[in-house]
């Protein structure tokens, strides 16, 4: 157990542990601890809190002797609701692309779009069907009757492949051949790049996905689809503009 009690320092009161326990349960929308047992990090966290409360129940509380909870999930070992939420959401592991994503040289709306894409939350035909919306499942870009998923639209679609090949060659990048999803293309391609090159590649990949998505939406809602050469030109010029504007 990672809880450590130091009698020489001021700590949370006995009632604070009940608040911690209730906070954990409320974040998961339940008052029943047994429903959380399938989540490993949460189960461990909750057991530690309950064990701490049981130990405190055997200690007569007074103003001169109050142990301190050594919370390992924050740098200063002090419990916060944010740290507990992070543990329950990410199992204590921060995603490898977190800093690269939010420091990307791109407008905020594009960064947000790319974040949604990485979480597979874009309203592709597949995700619309999951929500019960009437939709045509086939991809509008390649016309091959393939289901329009995020990974198909941006990675495996022949339309997207041709665009990525052209824009990558313009900047002398070589996309990871074995990558089968949006995140893998991004991270695998950037593995052997310098910091500056990786930043450029991140912006380029985001611009590629962004403009493919805009073209896809234009094709569906307006019936207009730009030729590949025009989309490639727009991606390259947009990436360069972002690099110069946000340098």
Look at the block and give the residue holding tokens 């949006």: 182
60 and 27, same structural domain? yes
* Stretch among 132-141, 184-193, 202-211 having the lowest mean pLDDT: 132-141
- Residue 108, pLDDT above cutoff 60: yes
Over residues 64-87, mean pLDDT: 70
CB proximity list for 124: less than 8 A, separation 6 or greater: 148, 149, 150, 153
Task: Using the 3D structure, point to which of 36, 60, 90 is the last residue of a domain.
Answer: 90
Domain containing 26 equals 14-90
Tens-digit pLDDT profile for residues 86-101: 776 655 555 667 778 9
User: C-alpha distances in angstroms, 82 versus 27, 53, 75, 134?
Assistant: 11, 21, 13, 39
For residue 202, being part of any structural domain is answered with yes
Contact 141, 153 (CB under 8 A): yes
Q: Is residue 1 part of a domain?
A: no
Which of 34, 61, 90 is the C-terminal boundary of a domain? 90
**Least confident stretch, 115-119, 134-138, 237-241:** 134-138
List, as one string, the DSSP characters of 139-193: -TTT-S--B--HHIIIIISHHHHHHHHHHHHHTT----TT--SHHHHHHHHTTTS
Percent residues over pLDDT 70 in the chain: 67
Q: Residue 63's pLDDT band (boundaries 50, 70, 90)?
A: very low
Q: Is the same domain home to 18 and 112? A: no
pTM beyond 0.75, yes or no: no
pLDDT at position 20: 57
In three-state secondary structure terms, 78 is coil
Does the structure show a pLDDT above 50 at 11?
Answer: no
Distances (CA, A) of 42 to 6, 15, 56, 86, 246: 25, 20, 21, 10, 40
Query: Does one domain contain both 137 and 62?
Result: no
Question: Which of 43, 63, 90 is the endpoint of a domain?
Answer: 90
Same domain, 74 and 152: no
User: 7 lies in a domain?
Assistant: no
């Amino acid at each position: 157990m990672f809880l450590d009690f130091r009698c020489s320092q001021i700590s949370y009161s006995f009632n604070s542990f009940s608040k911690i326990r209730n906070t954990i349960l409320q974040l998961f929308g339940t008052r029943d601890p047994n429903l959380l047992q399938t989540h490993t990090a949460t189960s461990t966290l909750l057991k530690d809190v309950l064990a701490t409360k049981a130990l405190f129940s055997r200690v007569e509380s007074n103003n001169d002797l109050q142990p301190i909870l050594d919370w390992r999930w924050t740098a200063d070992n002090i419990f916060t609701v944010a740290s507990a939420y992070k543990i329950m959401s990410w199992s204590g592991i921060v995603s490898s692309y977190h800093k690269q994503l939010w420091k990307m040289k791109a407008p905020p709306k594009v960064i947000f779009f790319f974040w949604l894409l990485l979480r597979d939350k874009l309203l592709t035909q597949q995700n619309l069907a999951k929500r019960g919306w009437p939709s045509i499942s086939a991809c509008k870009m390649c016309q091959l009757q393939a289901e329009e998923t995020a990974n198909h639209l941006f990675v495996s679609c022949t339309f997207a492949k041709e665009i990525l090949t052209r824009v990558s060659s313009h900047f002398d990048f070589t996309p990871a051949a074995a990558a089968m999803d949006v995140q893998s293309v991004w991270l695998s391609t950037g593995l052997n790049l310098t910091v500056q090159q990786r930043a450029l590649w991140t912006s380029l990949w985001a611009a590629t996905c962004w403009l493919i998505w805009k073209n896809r939406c234009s094709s569906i809602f307006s019936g207009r689809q730009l030729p590949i050469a025009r989309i490639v030109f727009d991606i390259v010029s947009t990436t360069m503009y972002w690099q110069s504007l946000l340098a």
